[in-house]
């Protein structure tokens, strides 16, 4: 009888040990070096998408302003620089008030204008409102949000905060990315006369967009911003308070001559916005949502954003030993990915405007018991491409009025249409899915903290006449079919559910981290991983901002045709072959990128030393200025 060779224990265990050491050493390597240094500040810190805009924020501190003043100046500057947004876009913010020791939310998202109904868009053979053009616009929110924040919580005048932006509107050297974006989209820009006049500075030349470093001038926008300052000055001269004077500027934008020109030119170009739409809209101060993750209170804006999806994912992940799985091991990636799939499926069906019926079941969605029930759906060895929304209503003592819609949900909308798309189609889908905005982070020694994710009015934007204001494209995030999401059906006066999602975390009742990222439907994916990088794996704020992330495309996109790519996963090029192979066996289709963190901006509060730590990923131009 031939002898049978039995493998030794060492032979069997060695590959497992090597694999375990690989997963242990990978995070250590990730933590050793960063491409950008940590920003250390003692008195204040200001971080945003462009260095010039960060300088605008630091100037406010030097004038005696607080973090709200600095954040407002950075918001104004990035809007003026077309850092993937404009003055006609929307602003979402979280503010920590040291006097009340509470986090408050700012909802400065515009609404669908008069006539913007599901029937209207369907009559034009549109499944969703369009990606670009005047029919993509909701009412401008950024001017109102900026002035509300400044009036309620700032210290400086509007004239101080807008001074850097007025100077930029009169002329600033345009950076390469924006200049190239204009050139790439010039055919769309040529459809709208006011946009053509502003953006295409070299008509008839082969390259009609501005050159990199060219002084880009926006005289109409500069005039609009000066009108706001003039309104404030007149009110102050008439004996009005600082707050009343800022709100006088607000009225000029939304009810005065600026509003009249904005409405006239928008309707001239085929848009729907009316004077009543502008006058009736207002920004709101809200109480945000929060969950406790292992003793840390994590705050997000309400369910008119996608922010609560991160809170839901944290609830699902909290009982699990993520650290024990190993940073970016196959098990870790799969587990976090599945938690995100569950949370985002709920986002896709249940999130929408909280000020319009029906009422979202947010109490059930954020229930820890509901999270445990959802977690039981995770298959440990396989991705589930058919995961759908759950039923949170029993977890808030109610029956689901939309239970019948859930049964057929996978057959609604554009779910699955792109599953077999060729690479060029996927690249276009991915670009839309991950479309970026900018972020603003600010903090000061008094204790004020601000986190903002503004957006809207990106290139190619419709410029509203002689206002110089680029209109939002946010209406595309609505749906027209209630079966797809009964809470997010387009209607006049209604807010679309947005991807924009600033974040704050408090520990022991004090600010712990303030963080945000741009990137469409990947925002809360990247923010979740950033948070876990710090809390579970001990990375500092810069290491966590640069560390390799993974991104899923299984949720429905909030833009374009709202497609999805179940099982598709972007992972970092540094992902080891063993990890790639195991993920593929789990049913994932992988694609690879060199930088996968997203352009995260963040502030860590070092209470032991009384300082700020600023982090800004190596993904783009984002950076900050500490003091």
Stronger pLDDT, 598 or 23, i.e. the higher one: 598
Residue 530 reports pLDDT greater than 80:
yes
Q: Which two tokens stand for residue 264?
A: 């006239």
Cα separation, 76 vs 66, in Å, equals 16
| Mean pLDDT, residues 276-301 | 98
Strands (E), 330-457: 440-444, 449-452
Report how far residue 253's alpha carbon sits from residue 262's, in angstroms, rounded to the nearest whole number.
Answer: 9
The predicted-structure confidence for 309-332, as pLDDT tens digits, reads as follows 999 999 999 999 999 999 999 999
Report d(CA 535, CA 293) in Å as an integer.
10
Residue 28 reports pLDDT greater than 50: no
Over residues 328-366, the pLDDT tens digits come to 999 999 999 999 999 999 999 999 999 999 999 999 999
pLDDT above 90 as % of the chain: 86
pLDDT band of residue 32 (cuts 50, 70, 90) is: low
**pLDDT score, position 309:** 98
Whether the Cβ atoms of residue 458 and residue 85 lie closer than 8 Å to each other:
yes
| Residue in 200, 259, 199, 192 with CA at minimum distance from that of residue 224 | 259
Which residues lie below 8 Å from residue 355, measured CB to CB, with a gap of 6+?
495
What band does 443 get if pLDDT is binned at 50, 70 and 90?
very high
Q: Quick one: pLDDT at residue 276? A: 98
What pLDDT shows up at residue 431?
A: 80
Position 434 scores a pLDDT of 82
What confidence tens digit (pLDDT) does each residue in 180-209 have? 999 999 999 999 999 999 999 999 999 999
Mean pLDDT of 218-229: 98
Half-sphere exposure of 577 (CA within 13 A, CB side): 0
Half-sphere exposure of 38 (CA within 13 A, CB side): 18
What does the pLDDT read at residue 620? 76
25 — pLDDT class (breaks 50, 70, 90): very low
Distance from C-alpha of 578 to C-alpha of 80, rounded to nearest angstrom = 47
Adjacent-strand bridge partners of 107: 92, 284
Q: How far apart are CA 195 and CA 186, in angstroms?
A: 10
Q: In 174-309, which ranges are E strands?
A: 215-216, 284-286, 289-293, 296-300
- Per-residue pLDDT at 490: 98
Burial environment of residue 530 by CB neighbours within 10 A (0 to 12, 13 to 18, 19 or more): buried
In 3D space, the residue among 65, 101, 111 whose CA is nearest the CA of residue 280 turns out to be: 111
The token duo for 126 is 């549109």
Predicted local confidence at residue 419, as pLDDT: 37
Query: What is the token pair recorded at 251?
Result: 């009225």
Full-model pTM: 0.93
Asked if 141 and 498 touch (Cβ cutoff 8 Å), the reply is no
Give the Cα separation of 482 and 485 in Å (integer).
Answer: 5
The answer to whether 360 and 350 have CB atoms below 8 angstroms apart is yes
What is the pLDDT at residue 412?
73
Look at residue 447 in the predicted model and tell me its pLDDT: 98
Q: Which helix (H) or strand (E) holds 616?
A: strand 611-616
Q: Is the pLDDT of residue 404 over 60?
A: yes
Does residue 420 register a pLDDT over 80?
no
**CA-closest candidate to residue 29, choices 322, 328, 324:** 328
pLDDT in tens, 248-264: 999 999 999 999 999 99
Q: What's the mean pLDDT in 216-227?
A: 98
With a cut of 90, say whether residue 413 has pLDDT above it: no
Q: How confident is the model at residue 380 (pLDDT cuts 50, 70, 90)?
A: very high
Averaged pLDDT, 506-521: 95
What are the angstrom distances between the C-alpha of 466 and each of 68, 162, 469, 470?
29, 19, 8, 11
Report the C-alpha gap between 421 and 73 in whole angstroms. 43
Query: Which residues are registered as beta bridge partners of 300?
Result: 289
Domain 286-434+518-626 architecture: Orthogonal Bundle (1.10)
Please count the residues of the chain.
627
475-482 average pLDDT score: 97
Sorting pLDDT into bands at 50, 70 and 90, what band is 424?
low
Average pLDDT value for the chain: 92
pLDDT tier for residue 30 given thresholds of 50, 70 and 90: very low
Assign 622 a pLDDT band (cuts: 50, 70, 90). Answer: confident
* Residue ranges of domains in the chain: 45-285+439-477, 286-434+518-626
DSSP 253: H
**Per-residue pLDDT for 619 more than 90?**
no
């Amino acid at each position: 009888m031939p002898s049978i060779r039995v493998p030794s224990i060492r032979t069997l265990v060695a590959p497992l040990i090597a694999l375990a050491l690989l997963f242990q050493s990978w995070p250590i390597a990730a933590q050793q070096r960063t491409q950008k240094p940590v920003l250390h500040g003692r008195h204040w810190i200001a971080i945003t998408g462009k260095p010039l805009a960060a300088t605008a924020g630091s100037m406010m501190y030097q004038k005696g302003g607080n973090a709200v003043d600095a954040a407002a100046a950075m918001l104004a500057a990035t809007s003026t620089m077309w850092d993937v947004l404009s003055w006609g876009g929307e602003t979402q913010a979280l503010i920590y008030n040291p006097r009340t020791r509470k986090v408050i939310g700012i909802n400065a998202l515009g609404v669908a204008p008069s006539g913007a109904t599901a029937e209207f868009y369907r009559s034009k053979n549109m499944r969703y409102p369009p990606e670009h053009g005047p029919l993509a616009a909701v009412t401008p929110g950024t001017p109102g949000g900026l002035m509300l924040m400044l009036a309620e919580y700032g210290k400086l005048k509007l004239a101080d905060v807008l001074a850097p932006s007025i100077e930029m509107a009169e002329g600033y050297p345009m950076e390469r990315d924006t200049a190239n974006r204009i050139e790439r989209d010039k055919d769309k820009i040529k459809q709208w006369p006011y946009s053509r006049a502003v953006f295409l500075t070299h008509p008839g030349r082969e390259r009609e967009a501005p050159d990199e470093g060219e002084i880009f001038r926006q005289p109409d926008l500069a005039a609009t911003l000066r009108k706001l300052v003039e309104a404030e000055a007149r009110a102050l001269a008439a004996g009005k308070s600082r707050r009343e004077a800022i709100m006088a500027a607000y009225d000029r934008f939304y009810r005065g001559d600026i509003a009249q020109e904005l409405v006239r030119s928008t309707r001239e170009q085929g848009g729907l916005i009316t004077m009543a739409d502008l006058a009736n809209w207002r920004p709101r101060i809200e109480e945000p949502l929060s969950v406790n993750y292992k003793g840390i209170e994590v705050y997000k804006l309400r369910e008119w954003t996608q922010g609560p999806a991160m809170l839901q994912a944290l609830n699902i992940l909290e009982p699990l030993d993520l650290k024990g799985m190993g940073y970016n091991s196959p098990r870790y990636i799969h587990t976090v990915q599945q938690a995100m799939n569950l949370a985002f499926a709920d986002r896709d069906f249940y999130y929408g405007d909280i000020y319009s019926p029906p009422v979202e079941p947010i109490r059930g969605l954020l229930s820890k018991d509901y999270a445990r029930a959802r977690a039981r759906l995770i298959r440990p060895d396989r991705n589930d491409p058919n995961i759908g929304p759950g039923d949170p209503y029993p977890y808030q003592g109610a029956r689901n009025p939309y239970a019948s819609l859930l049964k057929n949900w996978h057959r609604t909308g554009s779910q699955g249409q792109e599953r077999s798309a060729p690479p060029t189609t996927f690249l276009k889908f991915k670009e839309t899915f991950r479309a970026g905005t900018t972020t603003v982070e600010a903090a000061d020694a008094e204790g004020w903290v601000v986190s903002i994710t503004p957006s809207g009015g990106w290139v190619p934007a419709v410029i509203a006449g002689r206002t110089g204001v680029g209109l939002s494209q946010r209406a595309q995030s609505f749906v027209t079919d209630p079966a797809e999401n009964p809470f997010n059906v387009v209607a006049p006066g209604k807010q679309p559910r947005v991807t924009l999602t600033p974040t704050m975390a408090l520990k022991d009742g004090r600010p712990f981290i303030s963080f945000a990222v741009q990137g469409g439907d990947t925002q809360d994916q990247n923010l979740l991983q950033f948070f876990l990088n710090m809390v579970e794996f001990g990375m500092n704020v810069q290491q966590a901002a640069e560390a390799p992330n993974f991104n899923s495309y299984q949720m429905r996109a909030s833009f374009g045709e709202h497609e999805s790519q179940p099982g598709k996963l972007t992972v970092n090029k540094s992902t080891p072959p063993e990890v790639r192979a195991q993920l593929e066996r789990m049913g994932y289709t992988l694609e690879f990128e060199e930088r996968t963190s997203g352009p995260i901006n963040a502030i860590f509060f070092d209470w032991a030393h009384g300082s700020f730590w600023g982090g800004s990923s190596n993904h783009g131009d984002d950076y900050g200025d500490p003091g």
